[in-house]
Amino acid sequence: MGTITRGIANNVVTGGKLDGTDGLSGTVSASNIANASLTNITSVSPSLGFAVSSVASDPVSPTEGQIWYNTTSKTLKGYQNVAASWAAGGSLGTASYSRGTAGTQTSSLTFGGTSGPAYNANSESYNGTSWTSTPSLNTGRFGTAGAGASNTSAVAFGGYVAAPTTYSAATELFNGSSWTNSGNLNTGRAYLAGCGIQTAALAFGGSSSPPSTFAYTESFNGSTWTVVNALNTGRFGLGGAGNQTAALAFGGGPPRTSATESWNGSSWTTVSSMPAIVQNTAGFGIQTLAVSAGGANVPSAGVNTTNVYNGTSWNSSTNLSTARSSAGGAGTNAAGLVSGGATNLGSGPVLSSTEELTGGGLATKTLTVS
């Protein structure tokens, strides 16, 4: 039997759809084909190219496995999981722990801290290679928290003050050349966590007399702190990452915990716990790509473990070269920084060393031929 070919002109119904009741073959007019997205495609004809988009700037929120061509930098890029690695950076001028830290891997600021009985007011700036002394805080303290976008725009808040001996509510702003007193926290405390920028920061957790703990959360607008909804679990010595409206709180104690909470700008929600309990960890990154580096478990010995949160769960990453607790942390999962700390709080050596993190989860990478 021969093949019967049927025209389809009379089988186009309302809306440009084909009548599915007939066996059809032939050509559909372009005017009858709507421009819509396609799903469940298993292959693309070579005549259509490789389906790689061309963009002038990298996507703000790419998805894992996405590839694009950046026409500005003339590079092929992809968003992929990359292996983390730690490398030695420049050493601090003053070895110390429990410092506040702000900024990025190449533009970081660290301030306050202690190396024993002394309470530091000193401040140091990092340019990606070396630390340089900058003007000191107005009030020496340790267990302070910090936030800020760079080494010229930071905020320090809270801490344990040397004289008189008290838990401080003091807040100071740094503009690259000097520290200026600003509005106090509503509750003075130390060993709290912070994140955000100088004009939009978040402070959470802390203590005013260990082992007591606070669940308090406060929001800063550049001059005034406002009390907002508290953490579900009060704790001090916790890690923090993110910004004022999308933050992550993890670890802390007592008792030491692996609990993690996510902040949406109005309330905290308990999410997946860390792989192990940890206190006094260095936290940095964003809410959906946060890093916990080092810290202490039981009793107070520093650990070298690194864990990365992907917005759903924590995953182990490459260990620090040196185990350390109460180190400062700054930057992102792809370009992070830890500095100072102690190998064992109260008895171990106090550190001045710095380690720089490259990689550590999903990141935008330039694709090359190897």
- Same domain membership, residue 195 and residue 268: yes
Strand 67-70 versus strand 53-55 pairing type? parallel
Please count the structural domains in the chain. 2
- Same domain membership, residue 301 and residue 176: yes
In a domain, 369, yes or no: no
Map tokens 């838990």 to a residue: 167
pTM score, two decimals? Answer: 0.78
- Same domain membership, residue 269 and residue 327: yes
- Same domain membership, residue 253 and residue 304: yes
pLDDT in tens, 211-220: 889 999 999 9
Nearby residues of 145 by Cβ (< 8 Å), 6 or more positions away: 100, 156, 157, 158, 159, 192, 193, 194, 203, 206, 240
Nearest to residue 303, comparing CAs of 342, 355, 257?
342
In a domain, 199, yes or no: yes
DSSP tag of 106: S
- Same domain membership, residue 320 and residue 177: yes
Tell me the DSSP string of 158-185.
--EETTTTEE---EEEE-SS-EEEEPPP
Per-residue pLDDT, 65: 82
Nearest to residue 155, comparing CAs of 141, 133, 167, 137?
137
Per-residue pLDDT, 52: 85
Q: Is 114 exposed, middle or buried (0-12, 13-18, 19+ CB in 10 A)?
A: buried
Per-residue pLDDT, 42: 55
Backbone angles phi, psi at 10, to 5 degrees: -85, 5
The domain spanning residue 246 has which CATH number? Answer: 2.120.10.80
Nearby residues of 37 by Cβ (< 8 Å), 6 or more positions away: none
Q: In this structure, are residues 102 and 108 in contact, taking their beta carbons and an 8 Å threshold?
A: yes
In a domain, 47, yes or no: no
* Cα–Cα dist 96/115, whole Å: 5
Nearest to residue 333, comparing CAs of 365, 366, 359, 364?
359
Per-residue pLDDT, 2: 55
- Same domain membership, residue 243 and residue 347: yes
- Describe the strand order of the beta sheet including 200-204 as a list of residue ranges: 193-197, 200-204, 217-220, 225-228
- Same domain membership, residue 12 and residue 160: no
In a domain, 53, yes or no: no
- Same domain membership, residue 169 and residue 119: yes
- Describe the strand order of the beta sheet including 289-293 as a list of residue ranges: 282-286, 289-293, 306-309, 314-317
- Same domain membership, residue 95 and residue 28: no
In a domain, 191, yes or no: yes
- Same domain membership, residue 211 and residue 110: yes
- Same domain membership, residue 128 and residue 28: no
End-to-end CA distance of the chain, in Å? 57
| Under-70 pLDDT residues of the chain | 1-51, 81-82, 163-164, 360-363, 369-370
What are the CA-CA distances from residue 273 to residues 118, 175, 211, 252, 270 (Å)? Answer: 35, 37, 22, 12, 8
pLDDT in tens, 63-109: 878 899 999 999 998 887 667 899 999 999 999 999 999 999 999 99
In a domain, 173, yes or no: yes
Tell me the DSSP string of 142-155.
ES-EEEEEETTEEE
- Same domain membership, residue 203 and residue 135: yes
Q: In this structure, are residues 125 and 136 in contact, taking their beta carbons and an 8 Å threshold?
A: no
Per-residue pLDDT, 44: 53
In a domain, 74, yes or no: no
In a domain, 112, yes or no: yes
Cis omega (within 30 of 0) for bond into 62? no
Backbone angles phi, psi at 291, to 5 degrees: -125, 135
Per-residue pLDDT, 78: 85
- Which residue segment(s) compose the domain that 25 sits in? 1-40
